[in-house]
Amino acid sequence: MTLNIPFENTYAQLAPDFYTRQDPTPVKAPRLLAFNDGLGELLGVQRAEDAVLAEIFGGNAIPDGAAPLAQLYAGHQFGNYNPQLGDGRAVLLGEVVGSDGIRRDIQLKGSGPTPYSRNGDGRAWLGPVLREYVVSEAMHALGIPTTRALAAVATGETVWREGGLPGAVLTRVAKSHLRVGTFQIFAARGDAKALKTLTEYAIARHYPQANGPMGLLRAVRDAQVELIAAWMSVGFIHGVMNTDNSSIAGETIDYGPCAFMDVFHPNRVFSSIDRMGRYAYSNQPQIAVWNLAQLATALIQQFDDPEAVVEEATEIVHAMPEMIEAAWLRRFRAKIGITGAQEGDMELITDLLGLMADGQADFTNTFRALTTGGARDQFLAPEQFEAWQQRWTQRLADEDSPQDTMARANPVLIPRNHRIEQMIAAAVAGDFAPFERMMRALATPFADEAEFADLRHPPAEDEVVKATFCGT
């Protein structure tokens, strides 16, 4: 049983210090649940019969040219350093160069235990697999850098968590799976040679214009600046911004307890394990800076005299907050129809967000309604919005086509938490129609299509999802 995947592997050619050779563990009865035809075409992955795809992406058959391995990394988890993590339930099959010239990893997630599983079973259940499939593809459609989903396969096996749950495997595609934690583990070990190799590899793969370790640090910073601002602009909360979940490529990676806000509040937290609010919505910019500082600390360990580059590394990191604010302001200006910059724009935007928090306004629907004149209805106390609206209308007098600007910046649809939970419950019961419908709707999130009007609605009181889970 074969499938034509044009692998061109480079990470597997690095020294064994960076990974463990590891085949996925076969499953009992693989069944294809979803295959992303558009992404497959981009990657040059031949479309085959469902049974063939299920065998490959369920982990039962290794395609020609693959070099399966589990990557090694460490990371700070909620601020506490864990000296060795690694792919505990994932196997990198290999890399392909797409028709767009970009090299990407193809990885099986939920593919069985590895040496880094830490007594875990290495499996995933259906819920988190479908959640990541939907949310990652929605993020891509929103134009936000992200890992993507190529396939989802049911395993025909039971995964035991609080109880028995149906097992599944996700095929994840990323520009790479290099993380801040990949650098941290070799810095902690004092392995300057491995750090140099890893730095050169990351530069060659992602930022060929970068000059040395500090050039890499700048490039990662710049990519993360734009990523965080993009998250904030759509009300996205990653939920677990540990350094092992921080991508060197500047992509959104590891969709665990993630969520899009309904009612806006800057301190919103969904993750069931984030009890102190470390990764709350409004904290994401400063956590990105903190994570970059950990990368800087790791990168300088490869120099013979680390102290000689501390000042440069510090300057690079310290520039990040102001850069995030500028990127944030650019995106939120667009959300209220502004393309030019004027003094007072920041106050205008933050005043609106304050009114939204006080008035329990829906984040997505309020911004979208600015284009139609219906935003007033989103607030518990509409008269407070009316006073802001007068200031806003005066500001828009200096703009040429504010409605067009807002329509491009404000999506109609996001993958709302309650809809995801309903979709998962239906799939567990054997009904995949809600999953397929969500995928169709979220493929064009800026389109106002009547057939998907119900997906715009915030949750009813009994539908509110108060906590999200990692799903491991």
Exactly one of 87, 244, 254, 262 is catalytic; name it. 244
SS3 sequence of 7-46: ECCCHHHCCHHHEEECCCCCCCCCEEEEECHHHHHHHCCC
The reply to whether 244 belongs to the active site is yes
The residues pairing with 148 across neighbouring beta strands, listed in sequence order, are 173
Please give the Cα distance from 251 to 220 (Å, whole number). Answer: 10
Residue written as token pair 């109609």: 412
Please give the Cα distance from 208 to 226 (Å, whole number). Answer: 19
SS3 sequence of the chain: CCCCCCECCCHHHCCHHHEEECCCCCCCCCEEEEECHHHHHHHCCCCCCHHHHHHHHCCCCCCCCCCCEEECCCEEECCEEECCCCCCCEEEEEEEECCCCCEEEEEEECECCCCCCCCCCCEEEHHHHHHHHHHHHHHHHCCCCECEEEEEEEEEEEEECCCEEEEEEEEEEECCCCEHHHHHHHHHCCCHHHHHHHHHHHHHHHCCCCCHHHHHHHHHHHHHHHHHHHHHHCCEECCCCCHHHCECCCCECCCCCCEECCECCCCCCCECCCCCCCCCHHHHHHHHHHHHHHHHHHHHHHCCCCHHHHHHHHHHHHCHHHHHHHHHHHHHHHHCCCCCCCCCHHHHHHHHHHHHHHCCCEHHHHHHHCCCCCHHHHCCCHHHHHHHHHHHHHHHCCCCCHHHHHHHHCCCCCCCHHHHHHHHHHHHCCCCHHHHHHHHHHCCCCCCCHHHHHHHCCCCHHHCCCCECCCC
Give phi and psi for 372, each to the nearest 5. -115, -10
Q: Which residues are catalytic?
A: 244
